[in-house]
Amino acid sequence: MVRRHELTDDAWARIEPLLPANPERGGRWRDHRQVLNGIVWKIRTGADWRDVPERYGPWQTIYQRFRRWSADGTFARLLEYVQVHDDAIGQVDWSVICVDSTIVRARQHAAGARKGGPITAHRGSNPQIHQGRQALGRSRGGLTTKIHLAVDGRGLPMAFVLTGGNINDCTQFTAVMEAIRVPRTGAGRPRTRPAQVIADKGYSSRTIRTYLRRRKIGATIPERADQLAGRARRGHRRHAFDPIRYKRRNVVERCFNRLKHFKGIATRYDKLAAHYRSAVIIACLLLWLR
């Protein structure tokens, strides 16, 4: 019987072949499904590792497996595999990519890790590495992390970047777009370019519009009032904007809502950005496996 917060039989059947085999030397690993269900339970509930139920095995084993698979990119490869599979059968909606960000409150336990260069951007099984302070920023509400996310037309996560909560959205737009990369099952370059990008007026800048124009990607981004006034003074026309298409932007808001059903995502408890990033990847993977 599948319990709440556990992988379904169909979801397990899709990812089981990609998990590492038992080592040739030494004892056998504890059952992958049992341990992975323990990891999912922890992220779903936001509980401490020590509070993971005993039915999933010793908490030390679950935590060490999480650390191992975070470091070697196993979780990222699982998400990439599911994206590749769905793209190969034509289920990924490349007609639009919606970009937005959300703030995540970090508990005081998330502070205090060594400052350096955490892994903060997801790009398939090849994560980008940014220098930073464990993707933590101080704002009016205290320590926060920001998730910059790109979703396809169905509202499923394609790529994300983690930064401190005080980082402006538009500064990370290019990083999020460059993180979109879905390899093809046959010959050919990975898919990276949608037909259209939809974003709110916080992303309305000359740099972003120029970037999209050079990549031949349409932009559905409303202009701010000061930009409209400035263009009117100079006698320039407004940028093309389709309000009907813009209504599709709500898919990224719905995706954030589903991600924050995971209490371990809605509030950051992890000291290391790499561990919080892996938790977000697992949550994204479960959305794809539904």
**pLDDT digit string, tens, across residues 171-188:** 999 999 999 999 998 888
- pLDDT value at 110 more than 80: no
In the chain, the amino acid numbered 220 is T
Given a cut of 80, whether residue 232 has pLDDT beyond it is no
Q: What is the pTM of this model?
A: 0.90
The CA–CA distances, whole Å, from 179 to 80, 108, 193 equal: 12, 30, 11
Q: Cβ neighbours of residue 79 under 8 Å, at least 6 residues apart?
A: 122, 124, 281, 284, 285, 288
Residue 142 in this model has a pLDDT that exceeds 90: no
Domains of the chain with CATH codes: 93-273 (3.30.420)
- Give the pLDDT score at 23: 65
Rounded to an integer, the average pLDDT of 142-164 is: 95
Dig out the tokens for 199 from the structure: 């974003």
Are 180 and 192 in contact by the 8 Å Cβ rule? The answer is: yes
Q: Quote the CA–CA distance of 223 and 225 in Å, as a whole number.
A: 7
Q: Residue 26: exposed, middle, or buried by beta-carbon count in 10 A (0-12, 13-18, 19+)? A: exposed
Six-digit token string for 25: 């030397």
Of 2-6, 24-28, 157-161, the range with the highest mean pLDDT is 157-161
- Please determine, for residue 231, whether its predicted confidence score (pLDDT) is greater than 90: no
Q: What is the pLDDT of residue 26?
A: 57
| Antiparallel, parallel or unpaired: β 119-122 and 128-129 | antiparallel
